[in-house]
Amino acid sequence: MAGTRLRDKVAIVSGAGSRAAGIGNGRATAILFAREGAKVVVVDRDLDAASETVAHIREEGGTAIAEVADVTSYAECLAAVQRAVSEYGSLDILHNNVGIEGAGTLLQTDEDDWDRVWAVNTKSMMTMSKAALPPMIASGGGAIVNISSISALRPRGLTPYTVSKGAVIALTRALAIDHAAAGVRVNCIAPGPMYTPMVFADGMDDETRDRRRRASPLGIEGTGWDIAHAAVYLASDEARYVTGVVLSVDGGITLTSAAR
């Protein structure tokens, strides 16, 4: 393997398949974790998507297994954690990447939309973290990385999504302080405008893509690899004194005034 920054660590990455062909945040993170020496449990609700990520990792000489789970179910999260422990002996890193979009203002949102976005984006991080914490605490510590969004910091017309991702920040900070003494670090990443399969799966014209690029002060778009690199840093011992942070990976967009 190319790197050693996560050598001997066991990691679960949720949402590590990809909604469409290509490299999303979850798949990129699973691949980079493996490149840095971690053994990776690739969790997705879709076996084919998870298996594709595993195949990619194994082709590079890395170690990974696929695990199908609906991460909104605590029982299925528990099974995924047990698989990691039985297969690789421990659990050191949990990367909570699962998420779906939730567009519209509150007036455009019905109860079912709200519940669905909340379950996938927020409850999943609760269920997965609750399942993962005991083995981490038992082994003296661990690292959890949650994917929030700059939409939590900069709301505009995606209210169900914004609220679900804001709760991810609150959950991150709560877990960070509650389990600090046990040596568990909990941080989150707030991605800005990314060019990932979740975003381009339904098609994106060049004009829209260019507008999204220009929205960031750096004038570039992010990719799954940018999120994955941030996740490697936060999951690794290089960040052993970092907990409870919200790391924006957004090309500086949160420094600007939001277009509303």
Partner 1 sequence: MRLEGKKAVVFGAGQTPGQSIGNGRATAETLAREGAEVIAVDVDGERAEEVAKAIIDAGGSASAHVADATSEDDIAALFERCTKEWGRLDILHLNVGVSLAGGDAIITEITPEAFDRVTSINLRSMVLAFKHALPIMREHESGSITTIASIAAHIDYAYVSYKTSKAGVVALTQHVAISNARYGIRANCILPGLINTPMAVENRIGVLAGSREEVIATRDAQVPLGHKMGTGWDIANAALFLHSDEASFITGVALNVDGGQSLKIG
Least Å distance, CB 12 to partner 1, is 21
**Cβ-based nearer residue to partner 1, 131 or 175:** 175
**Cβ-based nearer residue to partner 1, 28 or 77:** 28
How many angstroms separate the CA atoms of 260 and 255, rounded?
15
Using an 8 Å Cβ cutoff, are 63 and 56 in contact?
no
Alpha-helical (H) ranges within 10-154 are 25-35, 47-59, 74-88, 111-118, 124-138
Q: Which two three-digit tokens encode residue 204?
A: 């994106």
Strand partners, 67: 43
How many angstroms separate the CA atoms of 91 and 255, rounded?
36
- Contact residues: partner 1, CB under 8 A: 141, 173, 176-177, 180-181, 183, 185, 192, 216-220, 222, 226, 229-230, 232-233, 238-245, 247-252, 254-256
Is 161 one of the catalytic residues? yes
**Cβ-based nearer residue to partner 1, 140 or 157:** 140
How many angstroms separate the CA atoms of 259 and 129, rounded?
34
Least Å distance, CB 140 to partner 1, is 9
C-alpha distances in Å from residue 68, one per residue of 59, 73, 81, 147, 245: 21, 12, 12, 20, 30
Least Å distance, CB 73 to partner 1, is 29
**Cβ-based nearer residue to partner 1, 76 or 250:** 250
Least Å distance, CB 186 to partner 1, is 9
What amino acid occupies position 15? G
- Which of the following is catalytic: 88, 161, 233, 241? 161
Q: In what order do the strands lie in the sheet with 246-249?
A: 63-68, 39-44, 10-14, 93-96, 142-147, 184-191, 246-249
**Cβ-based nearer residue to partner 1, 89 or 252:** 252
Give, for 67, the enclosing helix (H) or strand (E). strand 63-68
Least Å distance, CB 111 to partner 1, is 32
Q: Looking at the annotation, which residues are catalytic?
A: 161
